[in-house]
Amino acid sequence: GRGLVIAIDGPSGSGKSTVARTVAADISASYLDTGAMYRALTWSLLHRRIDVTDHARVASHARECALDIDTAPYAPRFAVGGVDVTQQIRGVDVTSAVSEVAANPEVRSVLIASQRHLIAQARESGKGMVAEGRDITTVVAPDADVRILITASAEERERRRRAEAGEASAASMARRDARDSQVNDFITPSEGVTLIDTTQMTLPEVVNAVLALIDERV
Binding site members for ATP = 10-18
The letter for the amino acid at 206 is: V
Beta strands 67-69; 78-80: pairing state: antiparallel
Our finding on whether 19 is near ligand C5P (CB under 6 A) is: no
Whole-angstrom distance, CA of residue 90 vs CA of residue 86: 8
Task: Answer for the pair 115, 34: CB distance below 8 angstroms, yes or no.
Answer: yes
Figure out which of the listed residues 6, 8, 12, 20 binds ligand C5P, where binding follows CB under 6 A: 12
Instruction: Using the rule CB under 6 A, give the single segment among 46-54, 67-75, 129-137, 199-207 that binds ligand C5P.
Output: 129-137
Figure out which of the listed residues 46, 133, 193, 196 binds ligand C5P, where binding follows CB under 6 A: 133
Residues 30-49 that bind ligand C5P (CB under 6 A): 34-35, 38-39
Residues 59-88 that bind ligand C5P (CB under 6 A): none
Q: Which is nearer to ligand C5P, 79 or 208 (CB)?
A: 79
**Number of residues counted as binding ligand C5P (CB under 6 A):** 14
Nearest alpha carbon to residue 169 among 179, 178, 158, 181: 158
Binding mask 156-195 for ligand C5P (x = CB under 6 A): --------------------x---x--x------------
Eight-state DSSP code of residue 7: E
Our finding on whether 94 is near ligand C5P (CB under 6 A) is: no
Q: How far is the CB of 118 from ligand C5P (least distance, A)?
A: 13
Our finding on whether 110 is near ligand C5P (CB under 6 A) is: no
What is the per-residue DSSP string for 101-169?
HHT-HHHHHHHHHHHHHHHHHHHHTT--EEEEESSIIIII-TT-SEEEEEE--HHHHHHHHHHHH-HHH
Whole-angstrom distance, CA of residue 211 vs CA of residue 61: 39
Eight-state DSSP code of residue 82: T
Instruction: Using the rule CB under 6 A, give the single segment among 46-54, 120-128, 132-140, 151-159 that binds ligand C5P.
Output: 132-140
Please report, as ranges, the residues that interact with ligand C5P according to CB under 6 A: 12, 34-35, 38-39, 98-99, 102, 133-135, 176, 180, 183
